[in-house]
Amino acid sequence: MIGPAGHAPGPRHRGLLPALRRVAPLLALALAGCAHVRPAPIDPAAAAAALTARRLDQPGLVRFLDAMGEPPHGRFGLRALTLVAVYERPDLRIRTTEADVAAGQVVRARQLPNPTLSLSPTFNATQPVPSPIKVGPVIQFLVANFGARQAGIAAARAREAAARDVIAAAAWRERSAVRDALLTLWLDRRAARLQRLAAREAGQAQALIAQRATAGMLAETVLARAEAAADRARFAAAEAAGRIGADRARLAAAIGMPAAALRGVSLSFAAFAHPSAPAPDRWPALVRAAITARPQVAAALARYRAADDALRQAVDSQFPGISIGPGYHYDQGDSKFILSLSLPLPVLNQHQGQIAIARAQRRLAAARFERAQARVLAQIDAAAAAWRGSRDTLLAARRLDAIAARRAAQAAQAYRLGATGRLRLVEAEGQAILAREQLLTAEGQRLRALAALADALHHRVFREVSA
């Protein structure tokens, strides 16, 4: 082997190869730890086909319900439908994935900075002896500020805790959406039955009045009013029946299913039969727990802690650390070992901008925490007021229903004795049906107010009944 200028390389010249051999294992180790991305394309057509094909009897869902203690046999109640929503709805998966992202950020905060390998080969054409080559690896290690590193890890963990709290809030919203949709369907089905009865009674009253008007016993204006009342009753019955389909579609959307998935499915409304309102002696503890520990409040507190740790990180990062660079140079036939140290000098800035931003973000997080608590308290107060008002309305509706039922019974007795005609009986029965409609409206208001109170307190008031 002939070197530059026709000189054979000496022992020192051959020292270049050992230097390169020392670098090769480091490069191989770095490449071996690299991650690889597996393709995961999304086919919109296939996704749409899978969405429209969802059913309550699909194998994966059946296994999930069975594992959760809700075997999908018979009727689907509130708990079973809520589990279906947990299984199928994407909102909860989004929040769970966001928590996974936050967990990844914790891993990123805890990881040590990689060393930097640098090579700067040079060739000295004017000095070929003993070797014109200068080359060697230098590895730079960053020794980070320990306080800033620990603060960054704490901030990442606080953000992860906030993301976990958001999962709990999303799970409650999923359950509330299913509950509200199922409750609306139940109330509308009962209202539709009453509207059909009311339309039938109005039709009978119209027929009786028409007979009397034909006989000259009643004026045509009375018949016209009866016809108009019957038309309104039939329209209300048709409108009530039409709401049932929309309610079932809303329930299907709440559980993440197409509307066709609920066709032929028997539903259970037993969860609404015996709601349990919070006991008076438990009320202060429930309010205090909601204001301090509801997922929204807990998430806001975790975000404040993250902002506080981020401020500590910004302050500690005024001195980010030092870089240590041990290395080896093959310098024109000589072996040289190097140790370099570098330290940033905070003379032009002392992280004032980062610190100012972090302070403002902490104040913003504190204000958002206060807003979260104020919103929870306002929600509790509004729900409690609506619930108390609904109880008074329900008591009044029950009194009116009892009076109307008693009058209908009296009219039936009088008709059987021949003291009154059938028209008076039909009118009394129509008034009783109207009172029952008002009672159903009052019951619906009370149940919805109780549901809002449950959401405000994050306290379950509807007994979980298996389907």
* Number of CB atoms found within 10 A of residue 96's CB: 16
Give pLDDT, residue 431: 92
pLDDT over 80 at 455, yes or no = yes
466: pLDDT confidence band, cut at 50, 70 and 90? very low
End-to-end Cα separation, the chain, in angstroms: 88
Give pLDDT, residue 28: 57
Greater model confidence, 307 or 62 = 307
pLDDT over 50 at 321, yes or no = yes
Range with the poorest average pLDDT among 1-5, 50-54, 115-119, 239-243:
1-5
Give pLDDT, residue 11: 46
Greater model confidence, 447 or 415 = 447
Tokens of 356: 């100012």
3-state secondary structure the chain: CCCHHHCCCCCCHHHHHHHHHHHHHHHHHHHHCCCCCCCCCCCHHHHHHHHHCCCCCCHHHHHHHHHCCCCCCCCECHHHHHHHHHHHCHHHHHHHHHHHHHHHHHHHHHCCCCCEEEECCEECCCCCCCCCEEECEEEEEEEECHHHHHHHHHHHHHHHHHHHHHHHHHHHHHHHHHHHHHHHHHHHHHHHHHHHHHHHHHHHHHHHHHHHHHCCCCCHHHHHHHHHHHHHHHHHHHHHHHHHHHHHHHHHHHCCCCHHHHCCCCECCHHHCCCCCCCHHHHHHHHHHHHHHCHHHHHHHHHHHHHHHHHHHHHHCCCCEEEEEEEEEEECCEEEEEEEEECCCCCCCCCHHHHHHHHHHHHHHHHHHHHHHHHHHHHHHHHHHHHHHHHHHHHHHHHHHHHHHHHHHHHHHHHHCCCCCHHHHHHHHHHHHHHHHHHHHHHHHHHHHHHHHHHHHCCCCCCCCCC
212: pLDDT confidence band, cut at 50, 70 and 90? confident
Give pLDDT, residue 132: 73
316: pLDDT confidence band, cut at 50, 70 and 90? confident
Mean predicted lDDT score pLDDT of the chain: 85
Instruction: Report, as an integer, the average pLDDT of 184-189.
Output: 96
User: Are the C-beta atoms of 174 and 91 separated by less than 8 Å?
Assistant: yes
In this predicted model, what pLDDT tens digit does every residue of 220-257 receive, in sequence order? 888 888 889 899 999 999 999 999 999 999 999 999 99
442: pLDDT confidence band, cut at 50, 70 and 90? very high
Give pLDDT, residue 26: 54
Range with the poorest average pLDDT among 52-56, 327-331, 403-407, 457-461:
327-331
440: pLDDT confidence band, cut at 50, 70 and 90? very high
CA separation for the pair 332, 348 (Å, rounded): 40
* Dihedral angle sign, alpha carbons of residues 453, 456, 457, 459: positive
Give pLDDT, residue 33: 57
Give pLDDT, residue 50: 79
Give exposure, 189-202, as e/b (b: 16+ Cβ within 10 Å).
Answer: bbbbebbbbbbbbb
pLDDT over 60 at 15, yes or no = no
Give pLDDT, residue 295: 94
In this predicted model, what pLDDT tens digit does every residue of 359-405 receive, in sequence order? 999 999 999 999 999 999 999 999 999 999 998 999 999 999 999 99
pLDDT over 90 at 88, yes or no = no
pLDDT over 60 at 5, yes or no = no
Greater model confidence, 349 or 168 = 168
Range with the poorest average pLDDT among 10-19, 64-73, 146-155, 406-415:
10-19
Give pLDDT, residue 255: 93
Give pLDDT, residue 154: 92
User: Are the C-beta atoms of 158 and 309 separated by less than 8 Å?
Assistant: yes
